[in-house]
Amino acid sequence: MFRSAKKFGAPSVSYPDQLNSRLDIRRSNPTLACMRFLLLALILLATSTAISIAGESVQFNRDIRPILSEKCWFCHGPDAEQREADLRLDLEPKADQQNIFTLPLEKSVFHQRITSTDPETQMPPPDSGKALTAEEIELLKRWQAQGAKYEGHWAFSPPKSVVPKNDPNATWPRNTIDHFVLQRLRKESLSPSDEADKHTLLRRLALDLTGLPPSKSEIEAFANDPSPNAYEQAVDRLLGSDQYGEHMARYWLDAARYADTNGYQYDLEREQWVWRDWVIHAMNTNMPFDQFTVEQLAGDLIPGATDQQKLATGFHRNHPITIEGGVIDEEYRTEYVVDRVATTATVWMGLTMTCSRCHDHKYDPISQKDFYRFFAFFNNVSERGLNGFNPKAQVPSPYMAKQLEEANQAISTAEEQLRQAAKRSGLTMNQLQQAPPIENKWTVVVPDKMTSKGNADFNIKDDKSVLLTGPNIPNDMYELVLNSDEKTISAIRIEALRDASTVNGGAGRGSNGNFVLSEVEIEAASPDQPSEFKKVPIARADADYSQANYSINLAIDGKVDRTGWAVDGNTKIEDRTAVFSFQKPIGFPNGTILRVRMKHEYGGSHQIARFRTALHLSKKPPTPITLSKIIEKPISQRSETEQRELRDWWLLSVGSQEVREAVNKLKRLDQQRTELSSGYPATMVMNELPKPRKTHVLIRGEYDKFGEEVQSATPATLPPMAAEFPRNRLGLAKWLVTPDHPLTARVTVNRFWQQLFGTGIVKTAADFGSQGDWPSHPELLDWLAINFVESGWDIKALLKQIVMSSTYRQSGVTTPETLQKDPENRLLSRGPRLRLDAEVIRDSALFASGLLSERVGGPSVFPYHPTGLWQEINNRPGYSRTYKQDSGEKLYRRSMYTFWKRTVPPPSMAAFDAPEREYCQISRSRTNTPLQAFVMLHDPQFVEAARHLAGQMLKSADTDRQRIRDGFQRCHTRPPTDQETAVLLAELKARTGQYQSDPESAKQLLAVGESEVDSTLAPTELAAWTSVARVMMNLSEFVTKP
């Protein structure tokens, strides 16, 4: 596989046979070895059931329900419309149907049908494709012979507290978990595996709790600490690290379908990363899971809700949103609500509720009416289906809130310093209140010449404004020529005016009625030399309104791509004004010619539709728009902020040097605070309509076919909502975390168990219904759920409890006996050895190399990415996006911060089974493909990481053997064996010879990646060690949790 990999960001490297045979876990013929292994696994699975039932009484929930649910309930289950012969097999038969289970078996209709070979009477019918196996028929016969007793579905009854049998002679158990596991192992005639060695334990623990391997110093400290509580101390340290919150949040992002784009065909950007920061912070501060639930589902409805609680509701705004023309608004709004129902039911209850959107659920007791009663909880958000981005809230992330608090303290100190300086200068408030008159000498000027890059038509209206019609290309530039007889001009004003001809009567030509003025450039010339234009520097720009993250200053920052001045033209339809003041007045003796370029480079035809220009004819710059409005107000009507702005402006005009310095210091601090507070976007959040929408059962799930009107309620098969709970999202959230709720705690602890062991106690973590798997350890699941609730829904306590167990600490090595009796490790006869997730593999490479950035939180980043891939997926004019790679530290942030485009997930992570995040996903598949080896060998991120690891090795010691030990330990936690060291030394020798004879190829290898190459190291030597590092990073052990 290595030999056939093609060049992708790095020179191809062919490895010697001894490396392929000794360092790779596969045999000399990998294909044949894999086939043998798979065949053995299939044979073992075929001859081993998850639950051993030989010699036991048949249990309905464990043994019979899965058969009936899979083979019978489609026609004889909860769905009344689909039901045949008025027979239900999901419930005990009605009185007049009791004879179907008559004994003896030979007289039973049920027995006759399931054992019949006659196509006319056989059940299930041959054409159903659901024929019963001989083993299933035998189980059904045994169940019937034992009385055909039904049981309510186990997951719909509250967890039962069971105390495991405590064997006083057993030395293996460390806590209650172990007693449950040992009891089950003995029942299956198995014994636990030995405890893993210290290196394995620390690597497993660090990867599970932080998503990163342990550092070299942590490895050495743990390996050399003989104290009995060394392991617990490591657990506590990892749980207390910032990296813990990042790692745990990553799992939640999958469940919350978090992405940085809207999905659907256009898949344009959105900015929800502030909500992502909220999740990281919640995990790091160990927010109780019940609070975590309530704030995300209904934080806005909590009495006196804080900004952070409102921000938390971004959870249910993470779904895809369409902007495509021609869609029906209500149809897509309905889809968003359905998505919330599906996500809530999956994440908190492990139920497939959307199966009842169009009809009653075919397998679980959830009616279509239940579905729409649940739907009603989420049907009251003031959103649209098309461009449904509102409601939004501009709220800092918890990390930025702390920085804002520090900035506010600095400003308070500077304010006091300014007051003292003003007092020493003899300035009084009375003087301040007598503000100078407004400098306002504007003259409207109609351009004499106007051109459009897109050949739009300019129409001059009676009020001297100009209306654009005709062609409307994605990115247009207007060039205006204004002639004036004036000799002194200090500013130009551009008014963006509403017009009835636009899409919404606003001032923009964009499809949503908005515009983005990317850049304004001004040049001036004398009428005597009309072709000799010179640039006019702009000192200041101000506007009467700017959209969040689209301030007027962005129109003079020299950047045009996707920045500029915008005004929320899709929601706030008003006339807007911008003023651009020059650094100094301009003019010529015989008048002045101005050339103005209005650039619109945002895309999507976001041009100004109607504008009017005016010139300020004075040596003095115009009074800023905001200050003019303040001065016009009576003092009693000015806000504190307005009075402060006016004060600063006045003090800079009349104050002493000390006062002006104090004002400027205060303005700098205030600007820093403004930049900090404007450095986060408006995040989509939930809200509630003042008057609830009516909710109806939708016939066949179609948005416009109304059936019976319903009120919000929880599924009838589950415990009812407490009478004191409000019938809204807040009441629903509280209901989900009531201590006696049968599902929430079970589903949650099962998901955390899945994170650590790869498979939950219930294998089908997303389905606790009748189609789901029976728990491998039902009593353990219930005990964990009850304990979790009683702990105050403490996530860290739950995780610590699990990782402290002997069950978790077992060696992951299989034996023929465990492989035969426990092939999937459902009985927990060994430790959890698993392929790592995509993000953990990439982060491990960066960590081992020393490149990983430890900064927590912040906007998404753009690391290395194949060129042109975004355009291949979406190349629609006006909506195509070019991937613009970041540089510096942003290339080395943790993978959870990588920009997530739904239609093009990060390709190197998609190769390792990362999801698209189109919908809620609480478990990932694990594959092993040649493409993964290709990524590991040739993706620039991994090649660059290998180069840095090589530099670390070269500087770590004086001998090659010691250097190999250092690098191997960074990658795999443990030191290499003598045989591994010998193979790697042989590889080093071979690569050294290769690069000495071909120094150009060494130069090519070292050129991969943007970080600087260490100039103190010889290029051929560094290249050879880079090849050794690539081998270390491409071993199975590197991508596996031990």
β-partners of residue 468 are: 458
Q: Which phi and psi (to 5°) does residue 458 adopt?
A: -105, 125
Strand-strand pairing, 834-835 and 1040-1041 = antiparallel
Spatial distance between the Cα atoms of 776 and 784, rounded to a whole number of angstroms: 14
The highest-confidence range among 30-34, 587-591, 724-728, by mean pLDDT, is 724-728
Phi-psi region of 266 (alpha: psi -120 to 50; beta: other; left: phi over 0): alpha
Report DSSP letters for 521-560, one per residue: EEEEE-TTSTT--EE--EEEEEES--BTTB-GGGGGSS--
Note whether 477 and 335 are same-domain residues.
Answer: no
β-partners of residue 489 are: 586
Q: Is 611 helix (H, G, I), strand (E, B) or coil?
A: strand
Phi-psi region of 359 (alpha: psi -120 to 50; beta: other; left: phi over 0): beta
pLDDT digits (tens, 9 = 90+) for 189-235: 999 999 999 999 999 999 999 999 999 999 999 999 999 999 999 99
Least Cα distance to 271 among 150, 184, 393 occurs for: 393
E strand or H helix that includes residue 576: strand 576-586
Question: What mean pLDDT is predicted for residues 869-894?
Answer: 86
Note whether 730 and 595 are same-domain residues.
Answer: no
As to burial, measured by CB atoms within 10 angstroms (0-12 exposed, 13-18 middle, 19+ buried), residue 1024 is buried
For 425-561, strand residue ranges (E) read 442-444, 449-452, 457-460, 466-469, 477-484, 489-496, 519-525, 534-535, 538-543
pLDDT at 813: 95
pLDDT at 820: 93
pLDDT digits (tens, 9 = 90+) for 784-823: 999 999 999 999 999 999 999 999 999 999 999 999 999 9
E strand or H helix that includes residue 892: none
Four-residue CA torsion sign, 860, 756, 285, 744: positive
Least Cα distance to 1011 among 836, 888, 912, 864 occurs for: 888
Number of domains comprising the chain: 5
Note whether 555 and 697 are same-domain residues.
Answer: no
Whether 168 is covered by a domain: the verdict is: no
pLDDT of 627 above 90: no
Least confident of 164-168, 467-471, 986-990: 164-168
What does the H/E/C string look like for 166-233? CCCCCCCCCCHHHHHHHHHHHHCCCCCCCECCHHHHHHHHHHHHHCCCCCHHHHHHHHCCCCCCHHHH
β-partners of residue 508 are: 608
Note whether 449 and 587 are same-domain residues.
Answer: yes
Residue type present at position 662:
A
Whether 195 is covered by a domain: the verdict is: no
Tell me which of 499 and 673 has the higher pLDDT. Answer: 499
pLDDT band at 96 (very low <50, low <70, confident <90, very high): low
Spatial distance between the Cα atoms of 1042 and 1035, rounded to a whole number of angstroms: 13
Whether 357 is covered by a domain: the verdict is: yes
pLDDT of 24 above 70: no
Spatial distance between the Cα atoms of 60 and 67, rounded to a whole number of angstroms: 10
Instruction: Write out the residue range of the structural domain in which residue 660 sits.
Output: 410-427+656-679
pLDDT at 437: 62
Q: Which two tokens stand for residue 53?
A: 């039932």
Q: Is 152 helix (H, G, I), strand (E, B) or coil?
A: coil
Beta-carbon-side half-sphere exposure of residue 771 (alpha carbons within 13 Å): 19
Note whether 362 and 450 are same-domain residues.
Answer: no
Q: How far is CA 614 from CA 511, 578, 579, 617, 808, in A?
A: 28, 11, 9, 9, 74
Q: Which phi and psi (to 5°) does residue 47 adopt?
A: -100, 5
Phi-psi region of 975 (alpha: psi -120 to 50; beta: other; left: phi over 0): beta
Note whether 415 and 461 are same-domain residues.
Answer: no
**Are residues 943 and 1030 in contact, defined by beta-carbon separation less than 8 angstroms?**
yes
Angle (CA) 94-100-103 rounded to 5° is: 120
Question: What mean pLDDT is predicted for residues 161-183?
Answer: 91
How many Cβ atoms from other residues are within 10 Å of residue 998's Cβ?
A: 14
pLDDT digits (tens, 9 = 90+) for 967-1000: 999 999 999 999 999 999 999 999 999 999 999 9
Residue type present at position 256:
A
pLDDT-above-70 percentage for the chain: 92
pLDDT-above-90 percentage for the chain: 69
Note whether 302 and 380 are same-domain residues.
Answer: yes
Choosing from 737, 754, 770, the residue where a domain stops is 737
Q: Is 1013 helix (H, G, I), strand (E, B) or coil?
A: coil
Whether 505 is covered by a domain: the verdict is: yes
Note whether 548 and 616 are same-domain residues.
Answer: yes
Note whether 495 and 582 are same-domain residues.
Answer: yes
As to burial, measured by CB atoms within 10 angstroms (0-12 exposed, 13-18 middle, 19+ buried), residue 641 is exposed
Least confident of 568-582, 613-627, 740-754, 796-810: 613-627
Residue type present at position 957:
A
DSSP character at residue 15: P
pLDDT at 821: 94
Cβ density class 454-481: b for 16+ within 10 Å, e for less: bebebeeeeeebbbbeeebbbbbbbbbb
Note whether 294 and 384 are same-domain residues.
Answer: yes
What radius of gyration, in Å, describes the C-alpha atoms of the chain?
34
pLDDT at 574: 94
pLDDT of 151 above 90: no
Least confident of 388-392, 667-671, 793-797: 667-671
Strand-strand pairing, 683-684 and 392-393 = antiparallel
Note whether 942 and 981 are same-domain residues.
Answer: yes
Choosing from 152, 179, 213, the residue where a domain stops is 152
Spatial distance between the Cα atoms of 578 and 593, rounded to a whole number of angstroms: 20
Choosing from 152, 174, 193, the residue where a domain stops is 152
Question: What mean pLDDT is predicted for residues 582-605?
Answer: 94
Q: Is 861 helix (H, G, I), strand (E, B) or coil?
A: strand
Spatial distance between the Cα atoms of 1030 and 232, rounded to a whole number of angstroms: 34
Note whether 518 and 571 are same-domain residues.
Answer: yes
**Are residues 607 and 472 in contact, defined by beta-carbon separation less than 8 angstroms?**
yes
Q: Which two tokens stand for residue 723?
A: 């009478």
pLDDT at 431: 60
Whether 145 is covered by a domain: the verdict is: yes
Whether 566 is covered by a domain: the verdict is: yes
Spatial distance between the Cα atoms of 381 and 46, rounded to a whole number of angstroms: 50
β-partners of residue 904 are: 901
Spatial distance between the Cα atoms of 648 and 643, rounded to a whole number of angstroms: 9
pLDDT at 46: 38
Strand-strand pairing, 534-535 and 519-525 = antiparallel
**Are residues 190 and 829 in contact, defined by beta-carbon separation less than 8 angstroms?**
yes
Whether 257 is covered by a domain: the verdict is: no
pLDDT of 769 above 50: yes
Spatial distance between the Cα atoms of 402 and 677, rounded to a whole number of angstroms: 11
Spatial distance between the Cα atoms of 516 and 826, rounded to a whole number of angstroms: 57
Spatial distance between the Cα atoms of 698 and 701, rounded to a whole number of angstroms: 5
β-partners of residue 835 are: 1040
pLDDT band at 275 (very low <50, low <70, confident <90, very high): very high
pLDDT of 20 above 60: no
Spatial distance between the Cα atoms of 17 and 1, rounded to a whole number of angstroms: 12
Least confident of 82-96, 356-370, 955-969: 82-96
Give the mean pLDDT of the chain: 89
Least Cα distance to 374 among 155, 785, 91, 698 occurs for: 698
- Asked, as a colleague might, if the bond just before 124 is cis with ω within 30 of 0, I would say yes
Identify the residue whose tokens are 């670390």. Answer: 952
Identify the residue whose tokens are 């050339």. Answer: 595
Least confident of 142-156, 332-346, 591-605, 886-900: 142-156
pLDDT digits (tens, 9 = 90+) for 521-537: 999 999 999 999 999 99
Q: Is 578 helix (H, G, I), strand (E, B) or coil?
A: strand
Q: Which two tokens stand for residue 357?
A: 């959107």
Spatial distance between the Cα atoms of 89 and 111, rounded to a whole number of angstroms: 14
Least Cα distance to 64 among 45, 51, 46 occurs for: 51
pLDDT at 35: 40
Least Cα distance to 274 among 388, 393, 391, 382 occurs for: 393
Least confident of 44-48, 84-88, 143-147: 44-48
